[in-house]
Amino acid sequence: MADYYETLGVERTATEEEIKRAYRKMSRKYHPDIAGPEYEDKFKEVNSAYEVLSDPDKRRMYDAGVDPNGPNGGGAGFGGSGAFDMGDIFSQFFTGAFGGGGEGPVPRTQPGRDTLASLAISLKTAVFGGTQDLEYSTFGVCEHCEGTGSEDRKPPVTCPQCHGTGHVQKVVRTMLGQMMTSAPCERCEGHGTIIEHPCTVCHGHGRVPTRRTIGVPVPAGVADRMRIRLAHQGEVGECGGEEGDLYVDIRVRRDRQYTRDGDDLHCWITVPMTWAVLGRETSIDTFDGAQTLEIPDGCQPGQSIELKGLGVTHLDGDGSRGDLVVHIDVQIPTKLNDRERKLIDEFGQLRKDGERSVDAQGSKPVPSQKKGFFSKIKDAFS
């Protein structure tokens, strides 16, 4: 039978308010949306424990040795599939008294829990991958006792109170009168053994809270909010138990120059009007170093130029990459001196711009007030 008091981390004498307060704390701690999907079963255990201990009738039944949520708990009432089986209740009460196959002692060596951490990386690291240090809180082996939990490193001895069974017999009052039941031994906490001289540092647990720094291998092409699993880098278990796993949530920091869209990178540059008219070869900085950019003659505002293979590495591992898309903005001069104005005017006369009439060339949809993804990014960088 599950120990609902232990699940909520309260004493068996806890008040209704203490149980409610403990439930709120544990439900926040193990909620899958916060702790991760791997804690879904633990979250269900917390809810199951609160369902029983928050109901006075169910709690009295549980204290009497019957789990209301168990197959013999009668949680569905006295009829149908949840029928109240007196034989099952007697077997619950007399398991300890007649040796009916109790749960046995709880092993001292327990596996460690998984740990969840967050790691912020640059966009460049997401493009190429790499190793980045992460510092996080967890439980590590107690160096004072070398994980044994014992001050003198001696193994535990048999508990003199339960004689190694991990349980003791108790007389409880029920609706059927006084009956014998089995409960975890308070002396050894159900382990069946005791550590005669507990470690003064870890108090017999074999582990202590610690800060650990490891190098996280970040795969090339990783995206924001992806989760990486590192086996055996979580909490060290009690008394030498196996380590849990470490789950790292990746957060990609915003880059000042480039924006990611899938495996493509986008940036915006502003060029003089003369460059757009006549064309120009220039250089731009990329994550791969300086690259030559050919601006074609007659380049229009908003035109884009693709640089193949300079984007984000594809996560499938074939080594190929997306593209770098350069969006062109043309700077129109505003304050012209007399000579500049005259030259522009002569240019217009050569092209006979003054002889042209401006007519509507067809209707276009009115721009929406709601800007698209790239418009917002362009405004932000402007």
pLDDT, tens digit, 9 for 90 and up, residues 5-41:
889 898 888 898 889 888 888 887 887 767 777 888 8
The CATH architecture annotation of domain 1-84 reads: Orthogonal Bundle (1.10)
Return the pLDDT at 96.
Answer: 40
The Cα-based distances of 210 to 80, 175, 234, 352 in angstroms read 53, 50, 11, 79
Return the pLDDT at 93.
Answer: 43
Across the range 83-92, mean pLDDT stands at 42
Tokens of 8: 């909520």
Residue 22 near residue 14, CB atoms below 8 Å: yes
Amino acid identity of 148? T
Return the pLDDT at 321.
Answer: 96
- pLDDT surpassing 60 at residue 189: yes
Distance, in Å, from the CA atom of 43 to the CA atom of 49, rounded to the nearest integer, reads 10
Distance, in Å, from the CA atom of 319 to the CA atom of 221, rounded to the nearest integer, reads 10
Q: Which of 76, 59, 65, 68 is nearest to 14 (CA)?
A: 59
Return the pLDDT at 248.
Answer: 95
Kindly report the number of other CB atoms within 10 A of residue 328's CB atom: 20
The CATH superfamily assigned to 259-354+370-381 is: Urease metallochaperone UreE, N-terminal domain (2.60.260.20)
Across the range 76-95, mean pLDDT stands at 40
CATH number for the domain formed by residue range(s) 104-253 = 2.60.260.20
| Residue 193 β-bridge partners | 158
Return the pLDDT at 211.
Answer: 94
At 320-343, the pLDDT tens digits run 999 999 999 999 998 899 999 999
Equal CATH topology for 104-253 and 259-354+370-381: yes
Binding site: residue ranges?
A: 142, 145, 159, 162, 185, 188, 199, 202
- pLDDT surpassing 60 at residue 83: no
Instruction: Describe the crossing of helices 56-63 and 40-53 by its angle, rounded to 10 degrees.
Output: 100
Q: What are the structural domain ranges in the chain?
A: 1-84, 104-253, 259-354+370-381
SS3 107: coil
Task: Return the minimum-mean-pLDDT range out of 111-115, 130-134, 262-266, 377-381.
Answer: 377-381
Which residue blocks in 222-287 are alpha helix, DSSP H?
Answer: 273-278
What's this model's pTM, rounded to 2 decimal places? 0.61
Binding site for Zn(2+): residue ranges?
A: 142, 145, 159, 162, 185, 188, 199, 202
Tokens of 289: 């170093």
Q: Which of 2, 22, 128, 134 is nearest to 71 (CA)?
A: 2
